[in-house]
Amino acid sequence: MSLIVQKYGGTSVGSIERIKNVAQRIAKWSRAGHQLVIVPSAMSGETNRLIGLAKDIQPVPDPRELDVVAATGEQVTIGLLAMALMQLGLKAKSYTGHQVRVLTDSAFTKARIIDIEERRIRADLQAGTIVLVAGFQGQDELGNITTLGRGGSDTSAVALAAALRADECLIYTDVDGVYTTDPRIVPEARRLTSITFEEMLELASLGSKVLQIRSVEFAGKYRVRLRVLSSLSDVDQPLAIEANSGTLITYEEDTKMEQAVISGIAFSRDEAKITLTRVPDRPGIAYQILGPIAEANLDVDMIIQNTSVDGTTDFSFTVHRNEYAKAMDVLDTKVKDHVGAQSLVGDPKICKVSVVGIGMRSHVGIASLTFRTLSEEGINIQMISTSEIKISVVVEDKYMELAVRALHKAFALEQAIA
């Protein structure tokens, strides 16, 4: 008998019919003898609806009160799903985040989990009860309701799996696993049977929307085995098949990464590039440029500084496209003249394409093949960033899909690993 945490996304519980289907799936696992903790999201679209209501009252909602409102979406789902399980003759009990006491800090709308009191959950599991815990939410030291930010139910599920030392955490969603790239761009994209935490974290941070970044970080830190699989598959398929479907996200030693150089191609359309030209090249110049950006609470991604023979430098970096205008304003009003830059140039029409694979550690020529492939397609590389297991390039956004398709083909990612 295994202890399994299952998380169901908003589309998986998006209607009463789907909630009933989820209940049947849970029942199959329960009747096979597994102890189950279920973490559902709010019904599809419900969180947006609740936030919209808050903004209709207060255009910039008070963060504490917004959390009180937004947390109710998951509360509805756990209650309905518990009832659906009872209708199938199973013992089920639902808990909100504060009832279980998912303890968080007090950063409303983006709180972080500090601790989880597992005693009540374990007692219910020992009594043969299926436990449902509202995802996305917790409680701070003062008893305030908090939420974990977008995608927070993934983090809730992984944190519960870590606290309970679960055998596996299953993330049910509307896709059947992690693919080598987005199948909507490359129809030949292949579903991966396994991937390492490191690779999944890179893919999530670089644009893959399958899992929330914080949940992958949590899983890697506490060595929680994750599996991404579909909640839309046939509910009557044998449990042995379902339990081994999807994509397993696990430790490097559990995968066949010696045989795979590259695992996937990630991309992000939400990028903008900013350049300060001919800045005096002197100690501390990077801080003088990026310090005000940090003070404005703006995140910087890729950074390039080029030094010329005349003692000046061009300093370029990327930000999220939604923060482009604010970053340009900060640089224009607080930085450009202060550091003596010749000009401030911005380009919001770029994208980032990344090649990710743990096999880079033991294989040469990955960067060469990446750059040659883009060159042969006539795609100019504006910026390059690398890590031990990834190569990211910035190109014009009109070339994004071409770049993804070309790189996917160049690394033969459509071919199954023997």
Q: What pLDDT shows up at residue 254? A: 57
Does this chain's domain 3-253 share its CATH topology with 264-410? no
Helical (H) or strand (E) element with 86: helix 72-87
Q: How far apart are CA 328 and CA 321, in angstroms?
A: 11
Q: What is the pLDDT of residues 148-184, one digit of tens each?
A: 988 889 999 999 999 999 999 999 988 899 999 999 9
Instruction: Write down the pLDDT at residue 251.
Output: 78
Residues 6+ apart with CB under 8 A from 349: 396, 397, 398
Domain residue limits, the chain: 3-253, 264-410
Q: What is the pLDDT of residue 257?
A: 44
Class at the top of the CATH hierarchy for domain 3-253: alpha beta
What pLDDT does 364 receive?
85
Pick the CATH number of 264-410 from 2.70.150.10, 3.30.2130.10, 2.20.25.190, 3.40.50.720: 3.30.2130.10
User: How far, in Å, CA of 253 to CA of 225, rounded?
Assistant: 12
Contact 140, 103 (CB under 8 A): yes
Q: Which of 121, 114, 39 is nearest to 75 (CA)?
A: 39
Per residue in 314-363, pLDDT (tens digit) is 999 999 999 999 999 999 999 999 999 999 999 999 999 999 998 888 78
pTM of the entire predicted model: 0.84
> Measured between alpha carbons, how far is residue 26 from residues 135, 210, 380 in Å?
17, 22, 50
Give the tens place of pLDDT for each residue, 247-279: 999 876 555 544 568 899 999 888 999 999 999
Q: Distance (Å, rounded) from C-alpha 384 to C-alpha 26? A: 46
Q: Which residues of the chain have pLDDT under 50?
A: 257-258
